Amino acid sequence: MNIAVFASGKGSNLAAIIRQVKSGKIKANLALLVCDQPKAGAIAKAKRAGIKVALIKRDDFPDKKSFEAKIGEALKENSIDLIVLAGFMRMLGSELVCAYRGKILNIHPALLPSFKGSHAIRDAFDYGAKVTGVTVHFVDEKMDHGPIILQRAIKIDRRDTPESLEAKIHKLEHKLYPEAIRLVLEGKLKVSGRKVLVSA
């Protein structure tokens, strides 16, 4: 199967996925990085790993529809089977979601449905939550909403700072996301409504 990773930032989850592919634990071809930020660290990581990069900037298009149409072209050109969102800081539109229904994954740095949005780590910390964590889920048309594949919890220690909590979250993400990707690739997930069942 051909995987496209979408990223807008440093690419730490991309790096974790690259390591798992190289080790043979994820049996798939990392065919494409889709990035909307020319200065994103993910680009250099992809190039070092020999992954094709599609830099598609939103500002180059008159509207979201044409922007995502260009993304769709890149996905078709590279015969993409699975999309993995790894710090891609844009919500996907309904046409793209529909075209790849059940084939788009996202990772969120909180235990959904709590603390949705782009500041989840800080929000959980500021709220005084005792527990937060990481969620991997399928993507639908709503923000941080699709059926949940895997979740893992982390205790927020009284000595934690937002920075130390972020480091703990990222460490867990780098373990959980490859695990979820493997389950998808191995056909071990069955979706029934909002429930995702994992077979042995």
Residues catalogued as catalytic: 108
Closest listed residue to residue 158, CA positions, set 186, 196, 131? 131
> Cα separation of 50 and 97, whole Å?
27
CA atoms within 13 Å, Cβ hemisphere of 108: 31
> Cα separation of 200 and 190, whole Å?
12
Q: Cβ(105)–Cβ(139) under 8 Å?
A: yes
Q: Write the DSSP symbol of residue 9.
A: S
> Cα separation of 193 and 48, whole Å?
40
Q: To which H or E segment does residue 115 belong?
A: none
Burial of residue 198 (number of CB atoms within 10 Å: 0-12, 13-18, 19+)? exposed
Q: Percentage helix, strand, coil, to 5, in the chain?
A: 40, 25, 40
Helix, strand counts (H, E) of the chain: 6, 9
